[in-house]
Amino acid sequence: MADRIFEEPRLADIYDLFDSSERLDLDPYVAMTDEFGAQSVIDIGCGTGILACRLAALGKEVIGVDPAAASLKVASRKSYADRVRWLHGTAAMLAGVQVDLIMMTGNVAQVFVTDEEWMSTLRECRSVIRPGGRLVFEVRDPSKEAWKDWNREQSYQVIEAPKIGKVEKWVDLLDVQLPLVSFRQTFVFQRAGTVLTSDSTLRFRSKSEIIDTLLTANLPVEDIRDAPDRPGLEFVFIARSPD
């Protein structure tokens, strides 16, 4: 089940407004499709579809997969959304598909909190990546302890949403029991006087643990890069399916 921030329509509708409209963090992923000569791409955990639609606009064959129907509804309204195949569900729905590249951006790779969920997802990815194709995803470096900044003082934002008015947002840390970290996002819709919250848990895996799990799934690591939008704070893993 998707977290409320992605599944609740009122939150999905404003999700993009809290990010920079330029979404420069996605530029390296768009560039990698050309670097790797990928014409067919799966975006797992595609959310509101920004990356999937950007790739479709470039003429890529794109599948966007997400368990949150509300987020997919937002995605379906974007430019070039009609060129994307949207799937409501998980990677388990991809049986029989073959693609050049699979991507998981943002926190997607960290929402699989159990070993079973993570390994199942990796094996499902492996089964649909063509020989020589790649799996690319980013994760936060646990040694940087990003959760120490997850508090109202450092996360507070307010935006003006069309037809809705001002919406406040902040994050509160709930629990740290490594490798699991739980937090709550609070949204205050000022005009309506409504307060909505969404609780999430992420798993912080070490670099060596991720390398081992990829090898187990027969997806050996080809490269580990820095995340340009969070230099020194994240790992971008590139795993290649054997030829």
φ/ψ of 60, rounded to 5, equals: -75, 150
Q: Which stretch of 21-30, 55-64, 65-74, 209-218 has the lowest confidence by average pLDDT?
A: 21-30
Q: What is the pLDDT of residue 21?
A: 58
Q: Is the bond leading into 28 cis (omega within 30 degrees of zero)?
A: no
Stated pTM of the model: 0.95
pLDDT tens sequence across 187-229? 999 999 999 999 999 999 999 999 999 999 999 999 999 987 8
Across the beta sheet with 99-104, what order do the strands follow? 84-88, 61-66, 40-44, 99-104, 129-140, 234-240, 221-226
Neighbouring-strand partners of residue 157: 169
Q: What is the pLDDT of residue 189?
A: 98
pLDDT tens sequence across 10-41? 999 999 999 865 688 899 999 999 999 999 99
Is it the case that residue 63 has pLDDT exceeding 70?
yes
Q: What is the pLDDT of residue 91?
A: 94
CA dist., res. 95 & res. 197, Å (int): 35
Q: How confident is the model at residue 158 (pLDDT cuts 50, 70, 90)?
A: very high
Is it the case that residue 3 has pLDDT exceeding 90?
yes
pLDDT tens sequence across 92-145? 999 899 999 999 999 999 999 999 999 999 999 999 999 999 999 999 999 999
Q: What is the DSSP letter of 146?
A: G
Q: What is the pLDDT of residue 23?
A: 81
Q: Where are the alpha helices (DSSP H) in 36-151?
A: 50-57, 69-75, 115-128
Between residues 43 and 25, which one has the greater pLDDT? 43
Q: What is the enclosing helix (H) or strand (E) of 175?
A: strand 165-177
